[in-house]
Amino acid sequence: MPSSTPFRTCPGGVATRPTGGFTLLELLVVMGLLSVLTGMAVGVLGRRDPQMIAAAVIGGACRAAQVTARSQGVPTEVWVRPGVDNEAASVQTLLLRPVAVFGFEPGQSSYDEALVPMIAGEDVPGGRFGHARSSGGNTKSSLLRWPVTPAVMDLRDGFVCRLDLFLTSRTRATILRLPPAIELIVDEDLLPTMRLRLRADAGPALAAVVSDVPLPLQRWCTVDVCCNGRLAWLQVDGREVANAPIGGAPLQEPDGVFEIGPAETPLPGLVDEVRWFVYEMGPPQTLPIELQPTRTFHFPYDLHGAPIAAPEVTYVPLEGDK
């Protein structure tokens, strides 16, 4: 029977050991420094030059997006939107917030009952980072089963689910699922497919991300299952292997259950650390009221923080400039 096994969790935090990126504290320090520098640029250089103030605000938001992308290894973006009803224009950064980390080390506990999963299968001391978990022939329970509500983890703006896998055989299986929103499966060639059910304007819709690059056999790999509301994609060891455009938010139920290696399709191998992140729009920053962008401008960044597009923001001419 499943049992509440010790594990690592961190609501609003990050893993308890290095994961190849910045820790949350380091990220907050960097973003704080960026905010200070932006404020200095606005206060010392800008004075009342609206164009210089706007450039400093947008530049600070773009730097925050790049820090997020580089630290977590996923794409992000910045939006510059015109104001509505004579309000100031706004600048927002799409940030990635850690929600939970599930590990399998003995002797660890959670300080938030909402993040307690049920763990089954066999303990494997020789995991990627320490202890891992395998089905071990037990087909009665999922390896990890976590009841999750939108209040604990809201998927509406997108998500990243990251896990470490060691597959030992070419077997068709369900790696993870959070019905009805998300499912990751592999076929007998270990080719991964992500299936999404979306909440769209015209009603529920289905989307699939199919990779022609198989997951590795007999070695550890890190798999990312990602969605940001406009695009869904799969990454393996920090490299994108498939993507597909989507048109809606994941269809999340109020009483969803996240599973690793569901009982009916046991995981053909080992799983180690499982991490959940959600995309969230950061607090809006305003531009000088006299500057209104001519349209919405979008600054996307890839998983290395490199700009995919860098549009030049143009503004509606002022009365004196016409």
Return the SS3 of 65.
helix
Rounded to the nearest integer, the mean pLDDT of the chain is 84
Residue 320 has pLDDT above 60, yes or no: no
Identify the CA nearest to 152 among candidates 53, 288, 254: 254
Q: What is the mean pLDDT of residues 31-51?
A: 59
pLDDT given at position 38: 55
Query: Contact 261/134 with Cβ under 8 angstroms?
Result: no
> What is the mean predicted confidence (pLDDT) over 153-173?
95
Instruction: Give pLDDT, residue 110.
Output: 63
Q: Which of 3.40.50.970, 2.60.120.200, 2.60.40.420, 3.30.1370.100 is the CATH number of 111-280?
A: 2.60.120.200
- The whole-angstrom separation of Cα 322 and Cα 316 is 10
pLDDT at 206 over 70: yes
Give the pair of three-digit tokens for residue 7: 């594990």
**Domain(s) of CATH 2.60.120.200: residues in the chain:** 111-280
User: CA angle at residue 147 from 145 to 149, to 5 degrees?
Assistant: 150
Q: What distance, in Å, lies between the first and last C-alpha atoms of the chain?
A: 75
Most confident of the ranges 3-17, 159-173, 192-206: 159-173
Query: Which of 10-19, 122-131, 249-258 shows the lowest mean pLDDT across its residues?
Result: 10-19
Average pLDDT of the residues in 216-245:
94
Q: Are 179 and 253 in contact (CB under 8 A)?
A: yes
Q: What average pLDDT score do residues 73-101 get?
A: 92
- The band of 29, judged by pLDDT with boundaries at 50, 70 and 90, is low
Q: Is pLDDT of 181 > 90?
A: yes
Instruction: Give the pLDDT confidence score for residue 88 in this predicted structure.
Output: 95
Q: How confident is the model at residue 26 (pLDDT cuts 50, 70, 90)?
A: low
Residue % of the chain over a pLDDT of 70: 81
Chain-centre distance for alpha carbon 275: 9
pLDDT at 194: 97
DSSP 8-state code for residue 312 = P
Whether residue 158 contacts residue 226, with contact meaning beta carbons closer than 8 Å, is answered with yes
Residue 151 pLDDT more than 60? yes
For residue 305, is it left (φ>0), alpha (ψ between -120 and 50) or beta? left
Q: How far apart are CA 155 and CA 57, in angstroms?
A: 28
Residue 263 pLDDT > 80: yes
Provide CB contacts within 8 A for 202, sequence distance 6+: none
pTM (two decimals): 0.78
Residues in the chain: 322
Whose structure tokens read 């998983």? 303
- What are 19's two structure tokens? 């994961």
Name the least confident of 119-128, 196-205, 307-316.
196-205
Task: Using the predicted structure, report yes or no on whether residue 24 has a pLDDT greater than 90.
Answer: no
pLDDT at 3: 41
